[in-house]
Amino acid sequence: MREVLIADDHPLFRDALARAVTQAVPDASLHQADSVAALLNLIEAHPHAELLLLDLHMPGANGFSALVHVRGQQPGLPVIIVSAQEDARVIQRAVGHGASGYIPKSTSADNIVAAIQRVLEGDVWLPPHVSGLTAKVESAEAAAAAHVAELTPQQFRVLGMIAEGLLNKQIAYELNVSEATIKAHMTAIMRKLNVSNRTQVALLARRLALDPALETADYG
């Protein structure tokens, strides 16, 4: 039984992906998540999954940070990015951050099935219109990614909330631990990211964003 994880916040598209997976791998065991938080739990519950379909625009994804973290935690788990974005530069960055495939949401069902099969065989699948792709990532972004990949799952959760401007107290409440614990994570995160305060942590996390103007939080 081959386990496949699907992470997408759009229920309709999530179902469509599920059908494609079932068609590509009839004996697949499917597990779905509609947020990055849920995805992290899913990964911990199914450490031997063989494929992850990941939406770039999910709540809490913060651009490529979810991809980068998953790749750091489970280097053997191939990830196919699913996104409405078809910009070649975004695809380039995704591959540079370790994605094994990229499926624009306009892709036909047949091609999605083919992509899943190819990636499960160890290949990389990209949309037909991107040909000679170099997978280049800015050095500042690559450095940020390398550090984010080192974080533990819990530290990654904390990172996401720092990047939304939350207080330690609020993060502690969300994760059901004491504020002291969050502070300990903070110290560890700052050490791993090689910075000295939470503002720099938040700014570094945002380097993996897709677009500076597209933000989830909306203060102001």
- Provide the 10 A C-beta neighbour count for residue 16: 16
CA distance 103 to 111: 9
Question: Considering the rule CB under 8 A, would residue 87 count as an interface residue with a second copy?
Answer: no
For residue 63, the minimal CB distance to a second copy (Å) is 7
110 contacts which partner out of a second copy, DNA, none, CB within 5 to 8 A by kind? Answer: none
Cα 96 to Cα 77: distance, rounded to the nearest angstrom: 16
Looking at the Cβ atoms of 47 and 165, the one nearer to a second copy is 165
Q: At a CB cut-off of 8 Å and minimum separation 6, what does 165 contact? A: 202, 217, 219
Amino acid at 110: D
Q: Which stretch binds DNA (CB under 7 A): 4-12, 54-62, 76-84, 176-184?
A: 176-184
Residues 177-196, one symbol each (x = binds a second copy by CB under 8 A, - = not), give ----------------xxxx
Q: How far apart are CA 38 and CA 171, in angstroms?
A: 16
Question: Binding pattern to a second copy, positions 107-146, x when CB under 8 A?
Answer: ------------------------------xx-xx-xx--
218 touches, from a second copy, DNA, none (C-beta below 5 to 8 Å by class): a second copy
Pick from a second copy, DNA, none: which does 155 bind, CB < 5 to 8 A by kind? DNA
CB environment 28-37: b (16+ within 10 A), e (fewer): bebbbbbbbb
Tokens encoding 27:
């004996």
Q: Out of 187, 203, 211, 215, which residue is the one contacting DNA (CB under 7 A)?
A: 187
